[in-house]
Amino acid sequence: MLYDIERVKKKIQKLYDDGTFFHAFIERNSLFPLSLKLKTPSQNSLRENMATLFDEIHQLEKLQLHIEYKAFTFKSLGVQNLPVAVVIKSEEKFLKLLGKKRTFEIYQSSYRKAVSQFPHLKQLFLHKPNFLLQNSEIVDELLAICHFFTKKPRPNIYIRELSIKGVDTKFIQQYKSSVDAFLSTVLDENCFDHQITKLSNNGFEKKYGLKYELPLVRFRILDETLYINELNDITITNEAFENLELPCQNIFIVENKITMLSFMRLANSIVIFGNGYGVSMVKNAKWMATKNIYYWGDIDLDGFAILSQARGYFSQIKSLFMDEETIEIFKDLAVSKKEQQRKNLQHLNREEQLIYERLSTDFYKEDFRLEQERIPFEHITQILPSATKILPIK
């Protein structure tokens, strides 16, 4: 109803939750006395709910707030003195109504401590009024981190190596977004990469000049004449792979690790574990641009999306065992994979695009997925050499 005490409390709570109260505190603009306007009931509503409305008014008065009244004249009810606003006269009363007195005391202490050490933080708290409230229990740790990075920007060490009194390195891992908000506010622009906005995939480390575990590429050399120091199953960093320039002529990229490990031996060839969408790890290996490249993934929406992604890096990529013939022979081995999302793929040929459209419309089977490891190994060893014109090695 119009004068429901819970409705009034929600209006008060909103000023706290949306940061209006904290914004006013930071700017030293008092909200008080604060007037919350109330709606006036219609004559019909007043007549039909008079007892309820006046009971609500009585409950409002129990809050010991100042209530402004105004006389209204109704044809059938005469003059009625009704509330038009509830007035909160002080900050103390506001906080008491919400039960937030102690919380705000902690907020004030945290604010003064933070801004006294790093005045620029005021802008962060104005932009995100509730941010400090949400992080008030870890302000000391956040400030300690700020002091460290202002003295040693871009330290070029791992997070594990940071030596900050009162802060263990798991803290930074746990509160990366909060640490980022503080650091990006207090540090000079030349002390971090302000163009990096996403903290996942080592974004935090890249942004603040920290070392991080480099992505790895795993591949097998399928021709023993190309072995590197007698090694054929090799895992190296992306950067090392980009500079490798193997003298092979043929490169296979497969989605599944077991497929990579069991891939048949072929002349002048290597096979890379693509790890699904992790195929992006090879995109900067420019030496691959002159090679024959083949991609073999699952026959499902994701498999063709990864194929399109890979072909965006190397346009010469040909797909293997991702065709209508393979589907027809092995469709009984297909399984269902739910939650596949259709995408607009730019790098499929006509046949691949047709299969992709059919997969997206459940043409073969609902949520159709033919995983590469379900295709019998014997079939692969029989077809692969003739399909690629690459000699097998026995």
- Domains of the chain, by residue range, sit at 5-99, 114-207, 216-388
Average pLDDT over residues 379-392: 92
How long, in residues, is the chain? 394
Characterize 66-99 residue by residue with b for buried, 16 or more Cβ atoms within 10 angstroms of its Cβ, and e for exposed.
ebeeeebeeeeeeebebbeebebeebebbbebbe
* Residue given tokens 């691949």 in the structure block: 352
Region 200-217 average pLDDT: 91
Closest among 86, 93, 4 to 37, alpha carbons compared: 86
Greater confidence (49 vs 193) lies with: 193
Q: Is the pLDDT of residue 304 over 70?
A: yes
Mean of pLDDT values over 171-177: 93
Provide CB contacts within 8 A for 5, sequence distance 6+. Answer: 56, 59, 60, 63
Question: Facing residues of 83 across strands?
Answer: 69
Q: What is the mean pLDDT of residues 332-359?
A: 89
State the burial class of residue 63 (Cβ atoms within 10 Å of its Cβ: 0-12, 13-18, 19+).
middle
Residue 125 has pLDDT above 60, yes or no: yes
Instruction: Tell me which of 269 and 194 has the higher pLDDT.
Output: 269
Whether the per-residue pLDDT at 180 is higher than 90: the answer is: yes
Q: How confident is the model at residue 341 (pLDDT cuts 50, 70, 90)?
A: confident
Mean pLDDT, residues 172-180: 94
Which ranges of 49-155 would DSSP assign to H, the alpha helix?
50-62, 91-98, 101-117, 121-127, 131-134, 139-151
pLDDT reported for residue 97: 85
pLDDT over 70 at 1, yes or no: no
Neighbours of 368 (CB within 10 A): 22
The answer to whether 210 and 204 have CB atoms below 8 angstroms apart is yes
If one looks up domain 216-388 in CATH, what number appears?
3.40.1360.10
- What does pTM read for this prediction? 0.66
Instruction: Give residue 3's pLDDT band: very low, low, confident or very high (50, 70, 90).
Output: low
